[in-house]
Amino acid sequence: MKSLRLSVAGFGVVGQGFIELLYNKQDYLRQMYDIDARLVGVGNARHGFIYREDGLDVPTVLELGASKRPLTDYERTRHWDTILEGLQETGANVLVEATSTNLRDAEPALSHIVTALRLGAHVVTANKGPGALAGLELLALARQQGVQLRMESSVMAGTPVISTILEGMAGARIQAVRGILNGTTNYILTAMAGGREYAEVLAEAQELGYAETDPTADVEGYDALAKTLILAGLVFNQPLKQEQVALKGITGVTLDDVRKAASAGKRIKLIASLRRNGDELEASVSPQALALDDPLARIDGATNALAIQADTLSEVTISGPGAGAISTAQGLLADVLACAR
Ligand SMILES: NC(=O)c1ccc[n+]([C@@H]2O[C@H](COP(=O)([O-])OP(=O)(O)OC[C@H]3O[C@@H](n4cnc5c(N)ncnc54)[C@H](OP(=O)(O)O)[C@@H]3O)[C@@H](O)[C@H]2O)c1
């Protein structure tokens, strides 16, 4: 039996979802993969980092999260005021990074990841900041340290696009990818195609928890932009900066635009696109009117999708959930198992 000791940075929707999934799957992981995965550390912004060398009791940890009590209420654990200090002084085999995304400087995730890699731990992350701002540098550091850095759930959550492209389609030269990478905006555009006004649908999406109180990151396209930057580095090996991606969100899309597109037999979707043009990589995030025979035109609601064009496979399209606690945790779990392999 292979034993894995995991620390989780970030104890919000995804961090707690991952810990719950790991716990619910423990027997299955033993049976199917011969892996005994144990949670040894967990931390957040408010309470810092707690750690137990022989493993934390998961129901106790989850109960603290559910009852919104501080992690420090868990007795007989070692404690540091910040996750970073805790990571520097403890040694898990795998760091699961699930703190909030920050597209300005990727912190604190960037420091968490660099620290763990330098200590010789594998890292799996759902966070978009590090992959978008420093993906290739971090992968180079991981290689140098002889460990893995994986970020499946940073793009389309647990729906496997990065591993499908890098592993399933290994050897294929990717010419272009086009995707619906943000569920909130697709939910809004789908409802508008049904005749509803933007403002009304946005308010509904906020009530349902699909959209944040401040929806800027989604509706202005920044979330899709971050995922586009991650794919530029990982899939095309060409790091791009935010300014190199032509960006337009959906706030300017009117019901009239959607109706006109429909009468021309088209659907408006927020499309993230990366395409090789000679040595250049052209990148954009913008609303586009797609003909109904386009595989992305009929991707509705909060679903995400990516269409991949390669030299050896004309077009492969993957669609599935792009958010949610367990869907995202699934991507982290798959990455943890890949590290164990
Ligand atoms: N939710 C999804 O469906 C989804 C899907 C794909 C990817 N992701 C990515 O996964 C990550 C986690 O998302 P989430 O939905 O779980 O967010 P969340 O519920 O807001 O949780 C974020 C966690 O990060 C911690 N945190 C924030 N800033 C920190 C700092 N400076 N130092 C230490 N800890 C800090 C927070 O601490 P406190 O609890 O103390 O505030 C919280 O525990 C994000 O990067 C997100 O982009 C999320």
Q: How far is the CA of 46 from the centre of ligand 1 (A)?
A: 12
Of residues 25, 128, 227, 269, which has the active-site annotation?
227
Which residue's alpha carbon is at the smallest distance from atom 19 of ligand 1?
Answer: 12
Region 140-155: mean pLDDT is: 98
Q: How far is the CA of 45 from the centre of ligand 1 (A)?
A: 9
Q: State the closest ligand 1 atom to the C-alpha of 223, by its place in the atom list counted from 1.
A: 47
Q: How far is the CA of 191 from the centre of ligand 1 (A)?
A: 28
Give the DSSP letter of residue 256: H
Judged by average pLDDT, the poorest of 171-180, 206-215, 234-243 is: 206-215
Q: Which of 44, 46, 133 to mutate for ligand 1's pocket (most ligand atoms within 8 Å of CB)? A: 44
Q: State the closest ligand 1 atom to the C-alpha of 129, by its place in the atom list counted from 1.
A: 45
Label residue 252 by pLDDT band (50, 70, 90). very high
Q: How far is the CA of 275 from the centre of ligand 1 (A)?
A: 31
Q: Which of 14, 47, 127, 162 to mutate for ligand 1's pocket (most ligand atoms within 8 Å of CB)? A: 14
pLDDT at 211 over 90: no
What per-residue confidence (pLDDT) applies to 324? 93
With H, G, I as helix, E, B as strand and everything else as coil, classify residue 169: coil
pLDDT at 166 over 90: yes
Q: Which of 21, 83, 100 to mutate for ligand 1's pocket (most ligand atoms within 8 Å of CB)? A: 100
> Is the Cβ atom of 15 under 6 angstroms away from ligand 1?
yes
> Is the Cβ atom of 45 under 6 angstroms away from ligand 1?
yes
pLDDT at 212 over 90: no
**Mean residue pLDDT across the chain:** 97
pLDDT at 209 over 90: no
Sorted by sequence, the CB contacts under 8 Å of residue 180 that are 6+ apart come out as 186, 269, 270, 271, 272, 296, 299, 303, 304, 305, 306
pLDDT tens track for 25-80: 999 999 999 999 999 999 999 999 999 999 999 999 999 999 999 999 999 999 99
> Is the Cβ atom of 210 under 6 angstroms away from ligand 1?
no
pLDDT tens track for 1-33: 999 999 999 999 999 999 999 999 999 999 999
pLDDT tens track for 74-103: 999 999 999 999 999 999 999 999 999 999
Instruction: Check: CB of residue 124 under 8 Å from CB of residue 151.
Output: yes
Q: How far is the CA of 42 from the centre of ligand 1 (A)?
A: 13
Q: How many residues does the chain have?
A: 341
25 included as an active-site residue? no
Sorted by sequence, the CB contacts under 8 Å of residue 314 that are 6+ apart come out as none
In angstroms, rounded to a whole number, what is the distance separating the alpha carbons of residues 240 and 249? 19
What is the share, in percent, of the chain residues with pLDDT greater than 90?
Answer: 96
What per-residue confidence (pLDDT) applies to 213? 84
What per-residue confidence (pLDDT) applies to 161? 98
Region 167-184: mean pLDDT is: 97
Q: How far is the CA of 90 from the centre of ligand 1 (A)?
A: 21
What is the share, in percent, of the chain residues with pLDDT greater than 70?
Answer: 100
Burial of 3 (0-12, 13-18, 19+ CB in 10 A): exposed
Region 218-244: mean pLDDT is: 97
2-9 sheet: strands from edge to edge: 78-80, 48-51, 35-44, 2-9, 94-97, 122-125, 149-150
Q: How far is the CA of 205 from the centre of ligand 1 (A)?
A: 20
Q: State the closest ligand 1 atom to the C-alpha of 107, by its place in the atom list counted from 1.
A: 31
pLDDT tens track for 269-323: 999 999 999 999 999 999 999 999 999 999 999 999 999 999 999 999 999 999 9
Which residue's alpha carbon is at the smallest distance from atom 21 of ligand 1?
Answer: 12
Q: Which two tokens stand for residue 45?
A: 């912004």
Give the DSSP letter of residue 304: E
In angstroms, rounded to a whole number, what is the distance separating the alpha carbons of residues 327 and 324? 5
> Is the Cβ atom of 281 under 6 angstroms away from ligand 1?
no
Q: State the closest ligand 1 atom to the C-alpha of 46, by its place in the atom list counted from 1.
A: 40
pLDDT at 334 over 90: yes
What per-residue confidence (pLDDT) applies to 336? 98
> Is the Cβ atom of 157 under 6 angstroms away from ligand 1?
yes
User: Within a 10 A sphere around the Cβ of 147, how many other Cβ atoms?
Assistant: 20
